[in-house]
Structure 1
Amino acid sequence: MKTYFRFSHLFVTLIGFLSYAQNKQDITYSSIGELQPRSSHEITASNWSIGGETMDRDFTDFDQWKQYLGATGAKKIRLQAGWAKCERKKGEYNFEWLDKIIDEVIAQGVEPWLQTSYGNPIYEGGGMPNLSGGFPVSVEALAAWDQWVMALVNRYKGRVKIWEIWNESDLNSENTPEAYSKLFVRTAEIIKSKIPEAKIYALSLAHIETEYVASFLDYLKKANKLHLVDVITLHGYTYRPEEIYPKYEKIQHLIQSYSDHIIIGQGELGCPSENQSYYALKNYPWTETSQSKWLLRKLLGDLGRDIPSLYFTIIDMNYVRVLGKENGKVVQLKNPIYTVNTKGLIKSKKDNTVDYLKPSYFAYQNLTSIFDHSLKRIPNYPYIIDTSGSLSVYGYRADSSDYQIVTIWENEDTPTDSTKKTSNDFEFANGNFVDPVYVDMRTGKVYEIPKSDWTKKGTYYKFMNIPIYDSPILIAEKSLIKLKSDKNKPE
């Protein structure tokens, strides 16, 4: 039975799932080539950022992976400025490590997004230099924080326009909304005093809870400081990528009740490429295939809601924890703790050198090669499907021609390792295609859609036997897709 839709994203009630599963099969078209990646320099603007975090703690080595950055097609990169790495001795700053990073990413056509965090234990009450480490709280530490932020701003004025204040403060119960709000205002005002045009990103929330956001906005409203915020960045790791959106929508509605200029952005989300015992999305049998699917579903799900989006992160991070607390004091751990966070697009070795580019690296390239500022989302794209499963479907049109691209994927479960597909029929009432092709975003392969499998009558299009699975595929106007001749890219 056909189901009719007038919305870009609805979950379909499952009917006859067992029959649906039995019908899964490999469906192949004639391949006509592969997507041509575009470098960051070749793309004017897009929705896409990449994570370059944790270099403040040396969990990755920029010199090892910098050659792969521009080729991703990302337009922004999130970096952590690292107070404790910059100021190892009171009042003395070393910015050389950060200088070379910022200068190089700009040279590759990527805009730096610089986060001020974390604490600095050389000051009493200065906090710890790690996630959940706590804000600077003493008079001396806060004064030193102000001086460090001012030094950062003076140094990178003209090179850095996007500034994010702290990371996931809500993971530490001592970092109350009021405490964060006070730190945010003093920091944002220092930044704005030297860079009036700066874009300020706030909160960087791990848990997407309205109470924390409401308290922050209340504080700013009472202090007449709402103008300091441009974007509230949200994280919110979920095994099924689409599961987080109801919480995002609540935050959006809350923000709109305070301000008409503040937007939300997805500021840090990624997926492991193997089963790991630590960090977000742990204890699940992830593979490099399911990582690629998760990446595409999350980023295209964000795009389908007009949410700026970041993939965390470019390379696996080798975490080394050498400091801890004992009786409330910072101490050196006798046995450092070594773990690996495998969310990277690049597989790293234990010494932070590059092992190889994962399939997710190429999937990210596929995404950036097509979806840039020249494509505009078509709100409430109308479609009809004949399915017993739950799908995400979004329509886009090209500024230059009005030709269309439609993204489709099964969204009911956490991405799996399987690449089996099932055929389905789609009807688009307001389509616009001349030569439609099929694109598997995970592999980058582009296929002919046989003329026997699609019909057109005015703007009404019917596509039959379209292979779909739990990873995004496209029905796209061929003229909007650039192909390459190289057939050697690994799947």
Structure 2
Amino acid sequence: MKNKQNDLTALQSEQLINLSEYGLRYLGDIPIRDSKDIVKSRIGVGFETLDRQMFDPEKVYPHLAKLGAKFARVQTGWSRCETSKGVYDFTWLEEIVDQLIEVGVEPLFSLSFGNTLYCTDAEHESAVGYVPLYYGEEATQAWRNYLTALAETFKGRVRSWEVWNEPNISQFWYPKEPDPTAYAELVRISAKAVRSGHPSARIIGGAMSKLDSHFLEAILQCGIAKHIDAFSFHPYQLVPEDNMLNMHAVIRRLLDKYSDGKDIEIWQGENGCPSQTEGHNDDWLGLYDTDQVVQAKWVVRRILCDLKNDYDMALYFHAVDLMARPYRQSDGKERKPVMMGLVHGDSYEPKYSFEAMQRVCTLFDSDSHVEELYCQFLEPNPARPSLCGRMGGPMSASFTRKGVPLVALWLTEDPQQKRPAEEIDLVFWCDSNLKFDEPVLADIMTGRIYDVAPLLSPFVPGRKDVGLRCRIPLPDYPLILTDRSVFDEFGGMVDSQ
């Protein structure tokens, strides 16, 4: 463990900036809130694969209590619940649900995968990806009965129910090729079965791998909008910000086109980044130089990007590495472990990404509202000082929290490039009704807060009312420009020195 910590310290030293070196005075650290202390949020984590017992949940609950995420996505495991036809044992699932609620996290159900009692050719005991519709009326009716029993058991404890996982790819839709018509039918019968036992259940459809707009439009043409309250998808990508606003706009347009006025939420339902380059299942992402610090940068950028683009849910996959048992998909073959966890899958110790996620969860719960504030990046032309050009890659995500601005600033370079921080001119105009008397700059990766006031100057000399300008370092992870008072809500800054 000591060697791991030494390695992490070296990575932090190489990839993170020290704002003291830019003349900023250290004030304290960002305070962290427990999950129970956060009333409402859009941020959640994956807690999937317990149908296959891929990790020990008992070792993860204490971490979830400290993380600050308010949702956990849990797969319900039909094969594990019904081992004799018509007989259900939900004990294992009830323990998970009750423990999550106990630590302040709301469970979300993913209704996914078949049952070897009915899908008799399944390659694995959990029948990953096997669709009951393809096994006749007995299997389809058994699926209905299972969902009704599940809904009756968890009514009052589980509000949200998502139908299947990634039905648009063969890894999770089997034994036939992905079929929008068949998936729409599965949603229809599943929604009806769940609501027969839990009338107020919120149904989520899609759970789509990436954004497959043709598949989405096809299932909407089949009438799926009548049965769902939210649409979810899994936009895995190396650079978190790539095309996320466009994807949200495309989904919103198609949902509105086919929903007949019904308001359907849009969820970023699964997304993650490994903490190592090799030796895991997700090398298909095209990774070339990732590590714990790169993962942590990716996590905070992903969540802030989702919130900026107004997704109704932002779920990070996964709470812990999946390595307790061999990982399998529909073909039943053993795969390498999944190493996207916020917690190490061997030691069950938090990774660096866990700490970074804690700070995001603390600051960006539902009391922090997306609100466009005037924020512009400028780079002076040394040859012609009167001219300015826009620098490639900078991004801002602005929020307000109880009358205080909360503005995240970062470079959108692929974090694996490990690009050094750039100095850039920032112009920021704070609305007159917002408190910005003691401006500070908080480093979301280190948690350290600095007094930024010495760097600020009026954009127009003598005219503070038209905005402030400062030259700041801009790394490939978020710095948070806000007022010192925002931390008073959480008991004030923490002194770590």
With the shorter chain as reference, the TM-score category is 0.7 to 0.9
Are 1:342 and 2:351 matched, yes or no?
Answer: no
Secondary structure of the residue aligned to 1:314 is coil
Q: Distance in 1 between matches of 2:374 and 2:167?
A: 41
Secondary structure of the residue aligned to 1:357 is coil
Q: Distance in 1 between matches of 2:132 and 2:28?
A: 52
Contact 1:319–1:338 (Cα < 8 Å) also in 2:
no
Report the CA distance between 1:135 and its aligned residue. Answer: 4.4
Report the CA distance between 1:484 and its aligned residue. Answer: 4.5
Report the CA distance between 1:118 and its aligned residue. Answer: 1.0
Residue equivalent to 1:35: 30
Secondary structure of the residue aligned to 2:440 is strand
Q: Residue 58 of structure 2: which of 63, 77, 83 is its match?
A: 63
Structure 1 pair 178–378 and aligned structure 2 pair: CA distance change class (3 A): same
Q: Distance in 1 between matches of 2:120 and 2:218?
A: 24
Report the CA distance between 1:196 and its aligned residue. Answer: 2.1
Report the CA distance between 1:28 and its aligned residue. Answer: 5.6
Report the CA distance between 1:323 and its aligned residue. Answer: 7.6
Of all paired residues, the percent bearing the same amino acid is 28
Q: Which runs of 5+ in 2 are unaligned?
A: 1-17, 171-175, 380-390
Q: Residue 265 of structure 1: which of 264, 267, 271 is its match?
A: 267
Q: Residue 159 of structure 1: which of 157, 160, 175 is its match?
A: 157
Are 1:421 and 2:427 matched, yes or no?
Answer: no
Contact 1:209–1:247 (Cα < 8 Å) also in 2:
no
Q: Distance in 2 between matches of 1:368 and 1:29?
A: 25
- Residue by residue, what CA displacement relative to the aligned partner does 1:132-162 show, whole Å, maximum 9, x if unpaired? 4444422221111111111111110111111
Q: What is the one-letter code of the residue matched to 2:207?
A: S
Structure with bigger strand share is: 1
Are 1:203 and 2:206 matched, yes or no?
Answer: yes
Structure 1 pair 124–132 and aligned structure 2 pair: CA distance change class (3 A): closer
Contact 1:425–1:465 (Cα < 8 Å) also in 2:
yes
Secondary structure of the residue aligned to 2:334 is strand
Contact 2:297–2:415 (Cα < 8 Å) also in 1:
yes
TM-score normalised by L of structure 1 = 0.85
Secondary structure of the residue aligned to 1:114 is strand
Q: How does 1:260-299 map to 2 (within 5 A)?
A: 260=261, 261-276=263-278, 277-279=280-282, 281-299=285-303
Higher relative contact order (CA 8 A, sep 6+): 1
Residue equivalent to 2:454: 451
Q: Residue 303 of structure 1: which of 301, 307, 319 is its match?
A: 307
Structure 1 pair 57–454 and aligned structure 2 pair: CA distance change class (3 A): farther
Q: How does 1:317-396 map to 2 (within 5 A)?
A: 317-318=322-323, 320-321=325-326, 337=334, 339-349=336-346, 354=348, 356-379=349-372, 381-387=373-379, 388-396=391-399
Are 1:148 and 2:146 matched, yes or no?
Answer: yes
Report the CA distance between 1:52 and its aligned residue. Answer: 0.6
Contact 2:119–2:132 (Cα < 8 Å) also in 1:
no
Q: What is the one-letter code of the residue matched to 1:291?
A: Q
Q: Residue 466 of structure 1: which of 472, 476, 494 is its match?
A: 472
Q: Distance in 2 between matches of 1:367 and 1:322?
A: 30
Residue equivalent to 2:407: 406
Report the CA distance between 1:407 and its aligned residue. Answer: 1.0
Q: Residue 478 of structure 1: which of 484, 492, 496 is its match?
A: 484
- Residue by residue, what CA displacement relative to the aligned partner does 1:335-364 show, whole Å, maximum 9, x if unpaired? x73522110000111xxx51x211100111
Report the CA distance between 1:95 and its aligned residue. Answer: 1.2
Report the CA distance between 1:452 and its aligned residue. Answer: 4.2
Report the CA distance between 1:458 and its aligned residue. Answer: 4.9
Q: Distance in 2 between matches of 1:42 and 1:295?
A: 22
Q: Which runs of 5+ in 1 are unaligned?
A: 1-23
Q: Structure 1 stretch 125-134 or stretch 89-98: which is displaced more?
A: 125-134
TM-score normalised by L of structure 2 = 0.84
Q: Structure 1 stretch 305-314 or stretch 128-137: which is displaced more?
A: 128-137
Tell me the number of residue pairs that the alignment of Structure 1 and Structure 2 aligns: 446
Report the CA distance between 1:319 and its aligned residue. Answer: 6.5
Report the CA distance between 1:485 and its aligned residue. Answer: 3.0
Residue equivalent to 1:168: 166
Secondary structure of the residue aligned to 2:297 is helix
Q: Distance in 2 between matches of 1:322 and 1:136?
A: 25
Structure 1 pair 30–61 and aligned structure 2 pair: CA distance change class (3 A): same
Q: What is the one-letter code of the residue matched to 2:293?
A: T
Report the CA distance between 1:247 and its aligned residue. Answer: 3.0
Structure 1 pair 87–424 and aligned structure 2 pair: CA distance change class (3 A): same
Q: Distance in 1 between matches of 2:493 and 2:49?
A: 35
Q: What is the one-letter code of the residue matched to 1:424?
A: I
Contact 2:145–2:193 (Cα < 8 Å) also in 1:
no
Report the CA distance between 1:273 and its aligned residue. Answer: 0.4
Q: What is the one-letter code of the residue matched to 2:85?
A: K
Structure 1 pair 44–228 and aligned structure 2 pair: CA distance change class (3 A): same
Q: Distance in 2 between matches of 1:88 and 1:70?
A: 32
Residue equivalent to 1:13: none
Structure 1 pair 36–323 and aligned structure 2 pair: CA distance change class (3 A): closer
Structure 1 pair 99–366 and aligned structure 2 pair: CA distance change class (3 A): same
Q: Distance in 2 between matches of 1:447 and 1:315?
A: 32
Structure 1 residue runs of 4+, over 6 Å off? 322-325
